[in-house]
A = this chain, B = another copy of it.
Amino acid sequence: MTSKIKNLGEIGLIERLTKRIKLDKSVVLGAGDDAAVIRWTRDRYLLYTCDMIIEDVHFRLKDAAPFQIGRKALAVNISDIAAMGGVPRYAVISIGINPATPVSFVDRLYRGIEALAKRFKINIVGGDTNSSRKLVIDISLLGEVEKENLVTRSGAKRGDLILITGAIGGSIKGRHLNFMPRLAESRRLVKNFKINSMIDVSDGLILDLGRILKASSCGAVIYEMAVPLSKDASSFASAIKNGEDFELLFTMGQKEAARFFKTELARFGTDVSMIGEVVEKRNGIKLVDGTGRIRNIKAKGYTHFD
Interface size class of A (residues with CB under 8 A): 35 or more
Determine whether the beta carbon of B128 is less than 8 Å from that of A51: yes
**Proximity string of chain A (116-135) to chain B, C-beta cutoff 8 Å, 1 when within and 0 when not:** 01100101111111111110
Determine whether the beta carbon of B50 is less than 8 Å from that of A13: no
Chain multiplicity (copies): 2
Docked pose: A95 CA to B7 CA in angstroms: 17
- Is residue A8 within 8 Å, beta carbon to beta carbon, of the partner chain? yes
| Of the residues B106, B128, B134, contact of A52 by C-beta under 8 Å | B128
Query: Across the interface, which residues of B come within 8 angstroms of A106, CB to CB?
Result: 5, 13, 16
Least CB distance, A67 to chain B, in whole angstroms: 13
CB within 8 Å of B: which A1-59 residues: 2-8, 10, 13-14, 16-18, 20-21, 23-24, 26-27, 30-31, 35-36, 38, 40-41, 48-54, 57-58
Q: Which residues of A contact B (CB under 8 A)?
A: 2-8, 10, 13-14, 16-18, 20-21, 23-24, 26-27, 30-31, 35-36, 38, 40-41, 48-54, 57-58, 89-90, 92-104, 106-107, 110, 113-114, 117-118, 121, 123-134, 136, 138, 140, 142, 304-305
